[in-house]
Amino acid sequence: MRPEPTEPLPPETLRMWFWSAVIAVAVLVAGALVLAASVGALMPWLPLGVAVAGAAYVALVPRVRLRRWRWRLDDEELDIVHGVWRVQRTIVPVTRIQHVSVQRTGWSDRFGLVSLHAYTAAGETDIPGLRRPQADELRDRILAQLRTPDDL
């Protein structure tokens, strides 16, 4: 039996997701206010409804998402569990990985985080929030295991 992944994402990821959600909900509430201002019948229920649903989303989703997120890298596989409603366990054999990149954005910099992207011939698998030294170490571990010939 394959062991479950145990490595969590750092707590800064929760802050990043929380503030991303706050901004997205604020934009939606502003949009709902504009719409309700032009269609009188929607006032005040539409902005209020969006605000309540948004507050619930902000309070719950980032936390559940972080609690669910686990990853594991051994000498054979990158194993990831994630998902809020639909829980996905994705397993990528390390020998299938073509290249790895560590990416940062202005937004992720504010939280001291980077993301790691592992590319296979079929697409990419991401770990969205890692501290820089941890991401570099993970990237080097994957690259060290890619030294085997691939029969792609």
Partner 1 sequence: MTSDAAPRHLHKAAIVVDELRSSLKLLGSIVVLAVVNSGSGLMLVLLATTAAGIVAGTLFAHRRWKATTYWVDDGALHYRSGIFTPDTKLVPLARVQSVDTTNAVLQRLFGVLELRVQVAGASDEEEIVLSAVTYEEAARLRRALGQPEPAPPDAIVRLGVRGLLLSALTGPQIAAGMSGIAAVYGLFDRVINVQKDGEGLLQGLHTTGEIVLVVAGLLTGGYLVSFAAGVVLFAGFEAERDGAILRVRRGLLSRRALSMPVARIDGVVIVEGLLRGPLGLASLQIESVSHGREDDVVKTLLPLVRRREAEAVIARLLPALTVAPGPLQGAPRRALRRFALRPILAGAVVGAAPGIALGGPGWLVLPALAAAGAAYGVRAYRATGVRVAGDIVVVREARRARRTLLVRRRRLQEHAVEHTPLQARAQLADVRVTVGSGGEGRARHIDRATADALSGALRPRALA
Q: How far apart are CA 152 and CA 149, in angstroms?
A: 9
Q: Please report whether residue 15 would count as binding partner 1 according to CB under 8 A.
A: no
Q: Please report whether residue 33 would count as binding partner 1 according to CB under 8 A.
A: no
The token duo for 81 is 């569990």
Site for partner 1 in 70-129 (CB under 8 A): 76-77, 83, 85-93, 95-96, 120-123, 125
> Residue 76 or residue 137: which is nearer to partner 1 going by CB?
76
Q: How far is the CB of 98 from partner 1 (least distance, A)?
A: 8
HSE, CB side, 13 Å, CA atoms: give it for residue 76.
3
Q: How far apart are CA 90 and CA 70, in angstroms?
A: 11
Q: Please report whether residue 67 would count as binding partner 1 according to CB under 8 A.
A: no
Q: How far apart are CA 114 and CA 100, in angstroms?
A: 13
Q: How far is the CB of 151 from partner 1 (least distance, A)?
A: 7
Residue 98 phi, psi dihedral angles, 5° rounding? -90, -45
Interface residues toward partner 1, by CB under 8 A: 1-2, 76-77, 83, 85-93, 95-96, 120-123, 125, 151-152
